[in-house]
Structures are given as C-alpha cells and as structure tokens.
C-alpha cells in the first residue's frame, strides 16, 4: 500500500467519522426542538453520514486490494466523496439547529417560522391554523411559547 493510498483511506475514514458525529448532532437538535427525528434536516444528515461511511469503505477497499496508482486515485475519489457527504451532513445539522432556535420565544422569527410551517408535510388547513396561532400570539412570551409548542407538536 502506498503512502498516498493509505493517506486517502485515512482521510475518508476521518471524514466518515465526522459525518457520523454531525448526523448524531442533527438528530439530537431535532429531538431537542421537539421536531420528529425523521425531519428533512435529520434525514439528510443521516443520508450524508451513510454516504461518507460508504465512501470510506470504498477507500479502504481500494487501498487494501490494489496498491497501484489506480487504487490511489480510487481512494482519493472516495475521500473526496466522503468530504462532500460530510459537508452535506454539516449543512443539515445547521438547519436542524436553526429550526430548534426558531421554535423558541427567544429565537422566534415570524417569517422563518411561517416558512417552516409552509414547508411542513401537513394539510393546508393545519398550516393556516398554525400561522394564525403564531400571528395571534404576537409578542406575548407565554402565548408565543404555547403557539410554538403547537407547531412542534404537528411537525412530521
């Protein structure tokens, strides 16, 4: 095994480990926010982590089976794929964290919460009801907390 192949395999394995950590953080952020862990952001983070792990496996296989320049190229390509998947997982984790923050009175942003509601996989009637509930709550922290709890409760 050449040093370059070994380095590429190590880089892919490191990227996969980071992606797995980021996916776990995204799932935790979704759970903390009361948003189902199967939300788009958490699902995207999980898929990205799986892609990074797969890329790391490919890099390790390439490094172990054919220590040639071609194997080094395959390992480097797999490491690049793992890095890209890690970036996707990080983006998904950031989205889950942002949702967590927006669905609290302290981090509340009416336009962003409306966007979350509009993008949810719920009926149009539920969306309209939730938007009205949040608008009615206005700046009253207690009412807003209750309204945001309702948003969290119906998010798929």
pLDDT at 97: 72
* Between 22 and 155, residue with greater pLDDT: 155
- pTM beyond 0.85: the answer is no
Q: In this structure, are residues 24 and 56 in contact, taking their beta carbons and an 8 Å threshold?
A: no
DSSP line for 15-61: HHHHHHHHHHHHHHHHHHHT--TTSHHHHHHHHHHHHHHHHHHHHHH
Q: Which of 36-40, 54-58, 78-82, 87-91 has the lowest mean pLDDT?
A: 36-40
pLDDT at 8: 64
pLDDT digits (tens, 9 = 90+) for 81-125: 777 777 777 777 777 777 778 888 888 899 999 998 888 888 999
Q: In this structure, are residues 103 and 34 in contact, taking their beta carbons and an 8 Å threshold?
A: yes
Q: What residues contact 109, with CB distance under 8 A and at least 6 apart?
A: 102
pLDDT at 2: 63
Helix axis angle, 110-119 to 69-102, nearest 10°: 120
pLDDT at 28: 67
Average pLDDT, the chain: 75
Q: In this structure, are residues 23 and 45 in contact, taking their beta carbons and an 8 Å threshold?
A: yes
* Between 64 and 119, residue with greater pLDDT: 119
Could you list the beta-strand ranges (E) of 50-126: none
């Amino acid at each position: 095994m050449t040093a370059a192949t070994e380095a590429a395999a190590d880089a892919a394995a490191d990227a996969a480990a980071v992606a797995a950590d980021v996916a776990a953080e995204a799932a935790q952020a979704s759970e903390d926010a009361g948003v189902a862990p199967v939300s788009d952001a958490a699902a995207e983070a999980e898929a990205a982590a799986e892609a990074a792990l797969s890329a790391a496996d490919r890099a390790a296989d390439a490094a172990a089976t054919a220590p040639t320049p071609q194997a080094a190229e395959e390992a480097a390509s797999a490491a690049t794929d793992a890095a890209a998947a890690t970036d996707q997982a990080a983006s998904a984790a950031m989205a889950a964290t942002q949702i967590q923050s927006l669905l609290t009175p302290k981090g509340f942003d009416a336009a962003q919460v409306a966007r979350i509601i509009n993008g949810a996989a719920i009926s149009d009637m539920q969306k309209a009801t939730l938007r009205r509930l949040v608008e009615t709550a206005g700046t009253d922290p207690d009412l807003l907390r209750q309204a945001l709890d309702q948003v969290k409760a119906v998010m798929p």
